[in-house]
A and B are shown apart, each in its own frame.
Chain A
């Protein structure tokens, strides 16, 4: 099973809303990632969790708050977003973070901020 699942598939929210994106994998991977992808652009790394600890935050604004409750789950809490935050949010996981480990991507959550 090489599946990473993400919910919801689509999300529309206002700038004052609070919402959360969820990601789950059952491959025993110890590294999980959040990416943001705008149309016709490559994915941009936001956060990396390694062994349930935040190891990389790519200078992401605090209105995005990641959380890793356990090794299988990764959440992204959203609050006071801006319309320019509308994008596809991709979660990925890998065995670890060093070497030639493959990242497996979830289908993404398509977010629209109004």
Chain B
């Protein structure tokens, strides 16, 4: 089982739709979680950190479920500019810090 898994997609959704991605992680010692977006041939850019209580930033909502070891990202009212690959990132802190990227989920928002 991969340490961090995502459905690769692609998710093809119409403008205005709501879309949700999940990301599962296998290491129960994981402590920090992030969502990044990566446009084609560009570097990953932070979309949002994921906090235990869940957090929202405009049209984006992130949730963490420690019991089931997954994080989610919800995008409401999708825009064409949301088309990208969404990477979940899991960090294990402590004596040995390990940062692991998920395989990414590709989103294509269609006019």
Contacts and interface: CB of A to CB of B under 8 A. Distances in A.
B110 interface: no
B17 interface: no
Contacts of B97: 48, 50, 55-56, 97-98
Contacts of B94: 98
A38 B19 CA distance: 27
A43 B44 CA distance: 9
B43 interface: yes
B34 interface: yes
B36 to A, nearest CB: 8
Interface residues of B, number: 23
Contact of B46 (A33, A97, A104, A107): A104
Interface string B85-109: 0010100011011111111100000
Contacts, number: 50
- Majority-rule SS of A interface residues: loop
B45 interface: yes
Given A42-B87, A102-B34, A90 B43 contact: yes
Contact of A105 (B45, B102, B103, B104): B45
A33 B100 CA distance: 12
Nearest to B101: A42
Contacts of A106: 43
A50 B97 CA distance: 10
A93 to B, nearest CB: 12
Interface of A: 33, 41-45, 48, 50, 55-56, 90, 97-108
